[in-house]
């Protein structure tokens, strides 16, 4: 009997996405029936529990968890560990989600592993796409002999598929309002879901939090006899340094670091990553030298976050998608580009609190183009324009049917000293980046077959 013909990469993606895909159709209620860790545990047990083959750092939070994960993995890799990174969602290609030694999983490996795991996936009733993808990542990491994996939580924490891992360190980055229809409509309820990643007796690192969220994290740590390290206090109080359009410096203790990511909020993320490494060393003995830490931070690549694509006019993309991140974007634009006229391109997912984002950003924009990405959950431009009108900005808002059309219109309006800022969702940013690379004749980032 012949082996079945191996799947192509395109077929493998179609297969993975054929499972219930909450990323594309929207999330159901955040309850056990929809997000059951029992499915993950049963599936991983069939595969010999690959998630126990490596150490892990698990990172939850509303904002900053991707940047913190990228900083942490880059420093571990700079030290020479065989490291891995698991993130979601992706900007341009699915392969960004699963990285080993800084490299995306290859198309061939995705297809090979999907072929190998298909029978096991199909043995589990009710499996979701995210659960299948997370299992694929764990299996790939174990197969590659990864020593330490940095795992970004997909949604919430308590019931997220990544939470079957037994992390050496649990990290909680900045908590703010997002997915309220799923996680709760107070910061305490949202924080309780995020704190669900804390295992008994864990070592927990938290970024600075508002008091409502911090008290819930402290309560969770107390209940699980976990030790909590808070960034911004005691030995993790950083001092901001010089900032240019290429990056920024900061001091922690007696050391001076530099990161290529813009926005003062990234200093909290970088310091959280440094604290996570200290915690990891305490728990596992995996040490990272000061030199590797500096090198890893300096070489962290995390596109789509306050990223400057062009100048004259400045073209910037940022994945801010809630009120808190929009506030941080506004403060960053005011600090980096004082006195310059800002033209905003805004496209959001319909299930995110885009009214909070617009409330932050519309007042600083001379003009705003509302648009939509091609993502199925994208809000219609007319809906965004209606919200802008309710906020009193109807006269300074135009509709653009696509992100590319919005970029064309903004470029036609902008003077050489102006700033065009594309924001609202990671999907809007991804389309703007691809459009910009095509316009300027730069090589396109790796992307997936449609």
Contact status, residue 198 vs residue 225, Cβ threshold 8 Å: no
DSSP for 290-340, written as a single string: HHHHHHHHHT---TTSSEEEETTTEEEE----SHHHHHHHHHHHHHHSTT-
So what's the pLDDT on residue 23?
A: 63
Q: How far apart are CA 340 and CA 235, in angstroms?
A: 38
Q: How far apart are CA 163 and CA 160, in angstroms?
A: 5
So what's the pLDDT on residue 24?
A: 58
DSSP for 393-423, written as a single string: -GGGEEE-SSHHHHHHHHHHH--TT-EEEEE
Domains (range + CATH), the chain: 9-298 (3.40.1190.10), 307-439 (3.90.190.20)
**168-193: buried (b, 16+ CB within 10 Å) or exposed (e) per residue?**
bbbbbbbbbbbbbebbbeebbebbbb
Rg value, the chain, Cα:
21
Q: How far apart are CA 229 and CA 225, in angstroms?
A: 13
Render each residue's pLDDT in the chain as its tens digit; 450 residues.
Answer: 444 566 799 999 999 999 977 665 554 544 445 567 999 999 999 999 999 999 999 999 989 999 999 999 999 999 999 999 999 999 999 999 999 999 999 999 999 999 999 999 999 999 999 999 999 999 999 999 999 999 999 987 888 999 999 999 999 999 987 545 555 568 888 899 899 999 999 999 999 999 999 999 999 999 999 999 999 998 999 999 999 999 999 999 999 999 999 999 999 999 999 999 999 999 999 999 999 999 999 999 999 999 999 999 999 999 998 998 999 999 999 999 999 999 999 999 998 889 999 999 999 999 999 999 999 999 999 999 999 999 999 999 999 999 999 999 999 999 999 999 999 999 999 999 999 999 999 999 999 986
Contact status, residue 322 vs residue 281, Cβ threshold 8 Å: no
So what's the pLDDT on residue 1?
A: 40
- Can you tell me whether residue 83 is helix, strand or coil? strand
225 contacts: CB under 8 Å, gap ≥ 6: 200, 201
pTM tops 0.85: yes
So what's the pLDDT on residue 3?
A: 47
- Can you tell me whether residue 178 is helix, strand or coil? coil
Give the strands of the sheet with 367-370, arranged side by side.
307-310, 314-317, 419-423, 342-346, 367-370, 397-399
- Can you tell me whether residue 192 is helix, strand or coil? helix
Q: How far apart are CA 12 and CA 16, in angstroms?
A: 6
Q: How far apart are CA 16 and CA 23, in angstroms?
A: 12
């Amino acid at each position: 009997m012949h082996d079945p013909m191996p799947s192509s990469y395109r077929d493998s993606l179609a297969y993975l996405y054929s499972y219930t895909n909450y990323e594309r159709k929207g999330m159901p209620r955040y309850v056990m029936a929809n997000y059951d860790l029992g499915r993950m545990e049963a599936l991983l047990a069939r595969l010999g529990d690959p998630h126990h083959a490596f150490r892990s750092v698990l990172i939850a939070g509303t904002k900053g968890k991707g940047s913190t994960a990228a900083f942490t993995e880059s420093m571990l890799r700079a030290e020479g560990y065989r490291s891995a990174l698991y993130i979601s969602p992706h900007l341009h290609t699915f392969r960004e989600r699963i990285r080993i030694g800084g490299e995306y999983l290859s198309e061939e490996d995705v297809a090979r592993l999907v072929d190998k795991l298909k029978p096991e996936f199909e043995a589990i009733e009710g499996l979701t796409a995210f659960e299948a993808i997370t299992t694929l990542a764990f299996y790939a990491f174990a197969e590659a002999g990864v020593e330490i994996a940095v795992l970004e939580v997909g949604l919430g924490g308590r019931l997220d598929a990544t939470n079957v891992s037994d992390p050496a360190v649990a990290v909680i980055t900045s908590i703010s309002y997002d997915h309220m229809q799923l996680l709760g409509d107070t910061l305490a309820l949202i924080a309780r879901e995020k704190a669900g990643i804390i295992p008994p007796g864990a070592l927990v690192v938290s970024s600075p939090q508002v008091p409502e969220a911090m008290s819930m994290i402290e309560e969770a740590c107390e209940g699980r006899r976990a030790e909590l390290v808070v960034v911004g206090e005691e030995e993790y109080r950083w001092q901001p340094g010089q900032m240019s359009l290429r990056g920024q410096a900061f001091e922690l203790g007696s050391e001076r670091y530099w990161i290529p990511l813009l926005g003062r909020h990234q200093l909290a993320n970088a310091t959280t990553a440094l604290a996570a490494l200290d915690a990891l060393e305490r728990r596992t003995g995996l040490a990272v030298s000061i030199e590797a830490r500096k090198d890893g931070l300096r070489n962290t690549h995390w596109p789509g976050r306050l990223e400057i694509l062009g100048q004259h006019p400045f073209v910037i993309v940022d994945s801010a998608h809630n009120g808190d991140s929009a506030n941080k974007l506004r403060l960053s634009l005011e600090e980096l580009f004082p006195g310059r006229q800002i033209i905003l391109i805004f496209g959001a997912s319909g299930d995110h609190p885009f009214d909070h984002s617009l409330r932050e950003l519309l007042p600083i924009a001379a003009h705003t183009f509302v648009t939509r990405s091609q993502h199925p959950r994208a809000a219609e431009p007319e809906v965004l324009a209606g919200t802008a009108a309710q906020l009193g900005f109807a006269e300074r808002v135009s509709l653009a049917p696509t992100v590319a059309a919005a970029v064309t219109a903004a470029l036609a309006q902008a003077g050489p000293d102006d700033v065009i800022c594309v924001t609202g969702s990671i999907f809007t940013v991804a389309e703007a980046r691809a459009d910009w690379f095509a316009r300027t004749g730069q090589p396109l980032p790796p992307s997936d077959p449609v």
